[in-house]
Amino acid sequence: MNYTYSVSIPHYNSPVLLGRMLKSIPEREDIQLIVVDDGSSEENVNALKKLQHKNLELVLLEKNKGGGYARNIGLQHAKGEWFISVDADDFFSDGAFDVFDQYKDEQIDCLCFCVHCVDTETGEVTRELVANKNVSKYLADSSKKTEQLLRFHNLESWNKLVSMDFIRKNNICYENCRINIDVLYSILIGMRAERYKVIPNKLYYFTENTDSITHKKRSVEREFQFYLQVQKRNGFYWEMGLRHLPFYRHDILYIPFMLKKRGLRDTISFFRLWWKHKDERKEAWKAYLFVFDK
């Protein structure tokens, strides 16, 4: 089967929300849907198997291996000319694929678009995403500065429709991790895409709720794991010469950040981990430097 679009959707224990996502995608012969279940419970897998959609393919992983791994599995199964990986608890805007159709025959590597950010329960707008702001800045003034923001501070997967030819030729992939899973993928696209198209249309709904990872209070140990992910980006940004905010984050900024967010006790605990794991910090800094290899 020749597909125009491959839509990959990692899934974990949220079949109802996944159903909403599927309903937002047109039932067309040229759209391939790949749902990668990342080790959901038996009950939720059974519910997942009852969902129906044209050209729906289910990939069931026996164990939970994280969103990055699931995104890569979806990418491996993609057969379309264009690829996008989205989240199961989000959904596309009405007419999103009609807009995609306007660009599907253009000689571009990546089509970047804007998204709505809403409360998953009420549907009310919650905030304007950084990625949207950077797209708007670039469209208003396509300078070197705004292009850097667009390419390297726009680190989500679900606002990019990407050519599969480009992905294959440039070995684009996701990091097999559980935190900030789209960062490496987005950086690789930003580095290697020669034809990067940007449009202001809001074609996707990113949803938030009080139970999401964004809003849950993290343990200090998990906070440190997020810090290590930042160090991976810091190493990349330093090598790129982007040694300033909003790109590079100095460690000293974590003192007021942690004090405000967590209080004195947790701040002390965080920096004990910081001191204890020197080698991990160094390795994290080097993690993305391979993107500069010829």
196 and 115 belong to one structural domain? yes
194 and 228 belong to one structural domain? no
204 and 253 belong to one structural domain? no
* The pTM of the whole model exceeds 0.85: yes
81 and 167 belong to one structural domain? yes
Q: Give the 3-state DSSP-derived string for 77-136, with helices as H, strands as E and coil as C.
A: HCCEEEEEECCCCCEECCCHHHHHHHHCCCCCCEEEEEEEEEECCCCCECCCCHHHHHHH
204 and 240 belong to one structural domain? no
Reported residue count of the chain is 294
Domain containing 138 — which CATH number?
Answer: 3.90.550.10
Which residues lie across from 125 on neighbouring strands?
118
Q: Is residue 39 part of a domain?
A: yes
Q: What is the residue-level pLDDT of the chain in tens, covering all 294 positions?
A: 799 999 999 999 999 999 999 999 999 999 999 999 999 999 999 999 999 999 999 999 999 999 999 999 999 999 999 999 999 999 999 999 999 999 999 999 999 999 999 998 888 999 999 999 999 999 999 999 999 999 999 999 999 999 999 999 999 999 999 999 999 999 999 999 999 999 999 999 999 975 554 455 789 999 999 999 999 999 999 999 999 999 999 999 999 999 999 999 999 999 999 999 999 999 999 999 999 986
The conformation of residue 32, written as its DSSP 8-state character, comes to E
162, 180, 208 - which closes a domain:
208
Contacts of 106 (CB under 8 A, 6+ apart): 197
